[in-house]
Structure 1
């Protein structure tokens, strides 16, 4: 029997083995309500959850969709689905009902578990879809939706459940992402992907059993599971979870729980470093901090390093990893602009447009491979071939879509997106999806969205709009025809808030690079500058509105 076909390391066995080794060690602290769970507790809770899933006819290969903030029940479902051999599909509560409806259609769950605050949103989503799963509500102090209540249906029996015959190649997580057109895709993350990413992280980052971390990524991200959660559980460390990510609370958690490790998106790290409590918070327990989910500005890195904290940048994606690189021992601090070198069980290469590896120092597309890669996209063979290559290909490299270079010392530097996607507060934003919705506005003839730098979110969207003749005729200025506030109201409920542009600019006519093809590069060159510099419309009149609120993106889990 080959390694890929046996069941060593499959998720259903993790809590039992960790509980047998360190039953009384604290696994999770819920900072919202003060609840603590040991590793023995995790195993008991997972067994009860597995029986709950069986009561709802969730069996091997069945999907369980989940819409919830970070809480203990999320971990119960992760390990409970592991024990039943079923598949967990966490969905973002930040998405609008139409987006959630598409994902529900794709996942086709047997069971849907919803935290109370998101009941109404999911009711609208299910009304738009053809799926009809059983529904359980994780009831909070919010109004209930009239479905079965999760805690009321949990069986009392917490003894060991019957083991399932699953392989490392079997799926365990479906994590959603999007394509360049905004069409949703679910990445199929196998038991083996989870195991090998955890192994890579432990060996490259030097995680220890006494490590403690505030877990600030949401559970519907690969960051919520693979960046630090599962590697730390493998080591028997302690996670501090919270419903919201507030900089003051995270700073307090670092000090109160003597956190040793912190991984977060740049927006969170920046909000912590600029908070009033920053200077008086004791950070001395932190062994290292890592930034992920998008490029981190030098000023943020320096702020943490000025406090004596070893901070570096990571790099990964849902399709592989996400922990693919690490900084070597005793690295030159001047290398912090890079993402480091490949971890122990990951290969990286940079290729040109013809698929040939480029020379050191040259920029090309970054490709990755390793046993921590996902199996592809759920029920989407065409997109799988495009990103992962053919299944029969012995060298199955994952195309990242990112541009990168390797310096003379072997450090990898990410140079930007190959496509026009940008990352806002750790969230992927795909301009064509946003443009399609903006174009539905009666005042809009054409719209293009470009990313612009933002100190808080890293990048936010700027909508460049060509108005219809009617709208232009009936308004004294472009802003009278379509103000940014009006656009926000129009997009609300149709798109997640982090996708809604924070800036609005106008052109009399879109530049073209060919027949019926808008020149995106020209627009990016013209409007993709720093937002504080403003921009003009083609007639030379002031043509930009700005949204100075913080609603353009979200970072709370």
Structure 2
């Protein structure tokens, strides 16, 4: 084996982990019941790397993403996804997961953008993939991930070389890309974010050091692997430590509860909707949650009622913050953090710098609301083939403009006030929907709410609350409830009840869709 193989710190995750803990269980497939040690995962990745190399999914020409091959994947969470992650690390190729929730025309546009050398499709999405390929201007080989019965294309597992010996890959640099992760945009084609090996390593390091990950940690994966949450929230950091990740094709709240108990899970990160559904599930009261050492909510504000339900069960649930472009693990709660800070995302992780700026880029003092900027070696590099949007987000001065409004209190805790574009002005006062939504959702008749601005002759704009809950709630009743909780100018002046709020990404509320239908 050459000096440029797995001895390099960049890329070959599975060989390094195998060398340290070959017999530890690294991955559990809850759907099939299969368990894989790090030795087995590395052998699988070696075979997969040889297949990728045969199809040109390798690294060439330095840190220019255009110089390397890419493998696109359209699938639910499966062990083969992990094989492809470890294998692209070995070959220097790029793994580009695609959301199976997208329509064929959207998939076709993404395929044109990614231009993969190989496409891997789980069989349930074969028809969508075929339609997308017919619309796309690419011609690449396709391999199937079987579920049952016949497959549309040659099976991936039957195409793998039998040679599982160590794979001698190319020389890689920290800045070389490893993942293309598309953002969960609700209008237009999502942007592909280029994430380097270095960014992945630093995010894992930040997570381990700030969240206190350990080699014996076990976590159920609640995010899809086409999302940054599927890789960078816990999967790669847990692999970094030699822990165990439990995945499944589909996770419902009851199954997550079952797995926490059956697998003695120690870590849990999920979006607020999943955490709430777990609380409401029939298994909630009887499930043993005592092994959970850390639990975090991400992907949007978590209501106080949900947080309290977990605290009542002895679980130290807190809120996190991240985005595809940076991290996504940027903050943590200090030891013995006070419950009155529960509406914050904590303080910056060890290797994360934070500032709050006004519209001119001037840094604001503590307590004032402005745009959140982050700076860390775990930030992504660029948006793929989007130079103008890259320049606006990945700034020349090294800071990343998140587009989110935030403030830092006197104790250094950061509160997220919502998207910059969602803020509205009522009677000359700035209104941040996230604050209003938290207050409205505390009402016992409200399950969830989104507040959007609507035109008003007197105040310019006022808030309309789009609510999931008991439609007997009146505006006067809500106003009385909010008295003393929220300034008058912030209170919604209209109520609309819906059976469900639209979602984008992993159970994340699609605010743009709500605003388009119910806003100005």
Distance 1:389 1:458, change over 3 A: farther
| Counterpart in the other structure of 2:28 | 29
Structure 1: unaligned runs, 5 residues or longer: 1-5, 422-451, 465-509, 514-519, 536-542
The alpha carbon displacement at 1:98 in A equals: 1.6
C-alpha spacing 1:459/1:305, structure 2 compared with 1 (3 Å): same
Is 1:403 the counterpart of 2:408 in the alignment? no
Q: Residue 162 of structure 1: CA displacement?
A: 1.3
Contact 2:123–2:147, Cα closer than 8 Å, also in 1: yes
Is the CA contact 1:340–1:412 (under 8 Å) kept in the aligned structure 2? yes
Corresponding residue of 1:275: 281
CA positional deviation for 1:382: 1.0
Partner of residue 103 from structure 2, selected from 89, 96, 99: 96
Aligned with 2:83 (options 76, 87, 91): 76
Q: For 2:136, which of 100, 125, 129 is the aligned residue?
A: 129
Q: How big is the shift at 1:459?
A: 5.8
Q: 1:477 — aligned with what?
A: none
Q: Counterparts in 2 of 1:504-519, with a 5 A limit?
A: none
Aligned: 1:350 with 2:350? no
- The residue number in structure 1 matching 2:74 is 67
Q: 1:330 aligns with which of 336, 341, 350?
A: 336
Q: Distance in 2 between matches of 1:521 and 1:82?
A: 53
Q: Which residue of 2 aligns with 1:500?
A: none
Contact between 1:171 and 1:191, CA under 8 Å: does it hold in 2? yes
Which of 115, 118, 124 matches 2:122? 115
Superposition RMSD in Å: 2.9
- Residue 240 of structure 1 aligns to a residue whose secondary structure is strand
Secondary structure of the residue that 1:525 maps to in structure 2? strand
**Preserved CA contact (<8 Å) 2:18 2:39:** yes
Distance 2:112 2:498 in 1: 34
Residues 234-258 of structure 1: CA distance to partner in whole angstroms, max 9, x if unpaired?
Answer: 1000111111111111001000000
CA offsets 1:23-64 (integer angstroms, 9 cap, x no match): 000001111000100000110010000011122232221011
The secondary structure found in structure 2 opposite 1:104 is helix
> How far is the alpha carbon of 1:100 from its aligned partner?
1.0
Q: Could you say which residue in structure 1 is the equivalent of 2:57?
A: 58
Q: Give the aligned partner of residue 499 of structure 2.
A: 548
Q: Does 1:191 align with 2:227?
A: no
Mapping of residues 415-426 of structure 1, within 5 Å: 415-420=417-422
Q: Hey, what's the Cα distance between the residues in 2 that align with 1:552 and 1:546?
A: 16
1:317 corresponds in structure 2 to: 323
Contact 2:374 2:402 in 1 (8 A): yes
Q: CA deviation at 1:420?
A: 3.7
How many Å apart are 1:400 and its aligned residue? 0.6
User: C-alpha displacement at 1:144, in angstroms?
Assistant: 2.3
Contact kept, 8 Å, 1:267 with 1:555, in 2: the verdict is no
Instruction: Give the structure 1 partner of residue 216 of structure 2.
Output: 210
Residue in 1 that maps onto 2:241: 235
Cα distance in 1 between the residues matched to 2:166 and 2:496: 60
For residues 76 and 182 of structure 1, what CA distance do their matches in structure 2 show? Answer: 31
- Tell me by how many angstroms 1:143 deviates: 5.1
The 3-state SS of whatever aligns with 1:40 is helix
Report deviation, 1:511. Answer: 5.2
Alpha carbons of structure 1 residues 43 and 345: separation in structure 2 relative to 1, 3 Å: same
Return the offset for 1:548.
2.7
CA 29–339 in structure 1, closer or farther in 2 if over 3 Å, else same: same
> What do residues 441-467 of structure 1 show as CA deviations (whole Å, max 9, x unaligned)?
xxxxxxxxxxx97999956799x9xxx
User: Which aligned pairs between 1:369-380 and structure 2 lie closer than 5 A?
Assistant: 369-380=375-386
- Rate the CA distance shift 1:180–1:284 in 2: closer, same or farther, 3 A: closer
State the TM-score, normalizing by the size of structure 2: 0.82
CA distance in 2, matches of 1:353, 1:7: 47
Is the CA contact (8 Å cut-off) linking 2:72 and 2:118 kept in structure 1?
Answer: yes
The superposition leaves residues 396-450 of structure 1 with CA deviations (integer Å, 9 ceiling, x where unpaired) of: 11011111111111100001111249xxxxxxxxxxxxxxxxxxxxxxxxxxxxx
Q: Which runs of 5+ in 2 are unaligned?
A: 1-5, 60-67, 424-439, 476-493, 509-520
TM-score by length of 1: 0.77
Q: Secondary structure at the match of 1:127?
A: helix
How far apart, CA to CA, are the structure 1 residues paired with 2:76 and 2:447? 21
Partner deviation per Cα, 1:175-208 (whole Å, 9 max, x = no partner): 0015685342100000000000000000000000
Match of 2:416 in 1: 414
1:448-507 per-position Cα deviation (integer Å, ceiling 9, x unaligned) = xxxx97999956799x9xxxxxxxxxxxxxxxxxxxxxxxxxxxxxxxxxxxxxxxxxxx
Distance 1:350 1:88, change over 3 A: same
Report deviation, 1:528. Answer: 4.7
**Aligned counterpart, 1:139:** 146
1:155 CA drift (Å): 1.0
Contact kept in structure 2, 1:108 and 1:131, CA below 8 Å: yes
Partner residue in 2 for 1:10: 10
Deviation string 1:315-338 (CA, Å, 9 cap, x unpaired) is 010000000000111211221111
d(CA) in 2 for partners of 1:19, 1:417: 42
Of 238, 257, 263, the match for 2:263: 257
Change (3 A) 1:111 1:453: farther
Alignment partners' CA distance in 2, 1:512 and 1:307: 45
Counterparts of 2:312 and 2:228 in 1: how far apart (Å)? 30
* Paired position in structure 2 for 1:473: none
What is the Cα deviation at residue 357 of structure 1? 1.1
